[in-house]
Chain A
């Protein structure tokens, strides 16, 4: 089926010396500054950093919602001109159309492409089957749990067979158990579709579990502070999260992010300020708060 595989070599994201400045009511806010970032075809790359550092902005640029102020952003060698179904997006907020059934939601992108109704239905049902959602094809989004809504959101984004999947904290609103399951479903689907993924999260374990590489961003204006390759083999299993390599990676990332969170939160959260609230600041303390 055409929705299931891409020709090899597609889905490369190439960000060169990119900067974004917002004009927020007359004051210029530099959100992202001189970022270099690459996603190779079929690669799973995460972006982590303290809140407000420009992760969403960066993703929105690749999605085509925001234009960069400087530098270049290429997907498969082409400059981005607005949103397109070549780049699927999964949002943190639930973004299913409440007036459409689960299946019609998944069909939406195909309908916009002008695919015939019967073919749309077949493709949507195949994808829903893969995500274990076929029994819910005629439900409305308001009848689903949060985890199911996000699964439908992922399936909907994949339906137009994009080269790139952009995900902005897609599991941020889910409880811990659902989130773990969603991570496994996502890795499974990613391996089947062999699609490039740029995944924004503030959850360190999540980024390690899912990714081939992780970019760590600095506090605003966001720059790339570090690039980390995850050496864990595929397929990933939940048991891997207990291995020494995994734990060492978590420690390393926590350290990197802690510094940036402190910078982002400013002086009121310096050690003295925190102890005023009776908070014990250990070596990893604030990193955990991100």
Chain B
């Protein structure tokens, strides 16, 4: 048996050919300066830190600008086509936040909305992901199921509100159904896309490594489609909130959407703003959660090439 004469270079193979008898006039290896290593590391760390500080500063500037428009707009009661005259000031909204937290009503509304989102979005995920994988992989599933999807997809979830109220036994279920519908199609279509856009060479590679259809599905197609599935989940979550709030405003009892609409009916300006902000914060938290789950499940995605411009 002919063993390797020396271990292959750890770094880029081109740098140090293994098991080659060095040519007499071989290039002398340049000694790597040991001291250069920590300096480079420090430099890199400093550059990272500077980059992060700069990002934080820009974030702060942009958010302060938005807040300033609100603050000064309401303070000086600006009335220049846009009317700030009836808009509550930041301090009023903050006071309202403290006030509503003294009773159960507000927090119950928030809880109900979150529960509706989690059920609607959760059911949509559980159905749309497996369905999307099947539709993407199998012609029969595609021909059987895609016509239904294509016919129903152009109908916005909100347009379902009246029908949904008639269709389902309780108001609660019909609102969850609207939320489900809103998130279902983005998740389904992105999952299908994740499978159909799959690099066929990976499937071939898996097959000649002994993967049968079942294992191929589980070990290759699912993880391979995961980035697209998560795109679908992120989009779906956004649409789920849009649909939920609309449904709550139209047909609801309870929920943040209902809270906001009720505040409008009662001409309670501070509560309108508080409702809006709450909806925004909840939506942000939900997409943040999806992003976090995504990067935990897909640690490799950090290394994939992205369109971000190098600093």
Contacts and interface: CB of A to CB of B under 8 A. Distances in A.
A99 to B, nearest CB: 4
A64 B17 CA distance: 35
Contacts of B208: 63-65, 83-85, 87-89, 157
Contact of B20 (A88, A145, A238): A238
B111 interface: no
User: How would you classify the secondary structure of chain B's contact residues: helix, strand, loop or mixed?
Assistant: loop
A128 B207 CA distance: 22
A130 interface: yes
A32 to B, nearest CB: 19
B302 to A, nearest CB: 8
Interface string B189-223: 00000000001011011111111100100011001
A235 interface: yes
Contact of B210 (A135, A148, A160): A160
A246 interface: no
Nearest to A114: B210
A95 B205 contact: yes
Interface stretch (A178-186, A267-275, A276-284): A178-186
A108 B226 CA distance: 18
B24 to A, nearest CB: 11
B300 interface: yes
B14 interface: yes
A142 B1 CA distance: 34
A173 B23 CA distance: 27
A136 B51 CA distance: 28
Contact of A181 (B3, B18, B223): B18
A98 B204 contact: no
B300 A235 contact: no
Given A108-B209, A147-B13, A132 B7 contact: yes
Interface string B1-41: 11110011110111001111100000000000000000000
Contacts of B1: 191-192
B303 interface: yes
B80 to A, nearest CB: 52
B8 A99 contact: no
B8 A131 contact: yes
Given A112-B215, A132-B18, A142-B305, A147 B12 contact: yes
Nearest to A147: B13
Nearest to B226: A99
Interface of A: 63-65, 82-85, 87-89, 91, 93, 95-100, 108-109, 111-113, 129-133, 135-136, 140-143, 145, 147-148, 151, 156-157, 160, 175, 177-178, 180-182, 184-185, 188, 191-192, 235, 237-239
8 contacts: A96-B205, A97-B206, A108-B209, A109-B210, A111-B219, A131-B8, A178-B13, A185-B8
Given A108-B209, A178-B13, 7 more contacts: A83-B204, A93-B199, A111-B219, A130-B4, A131-B8, A141-B300, A180-B17
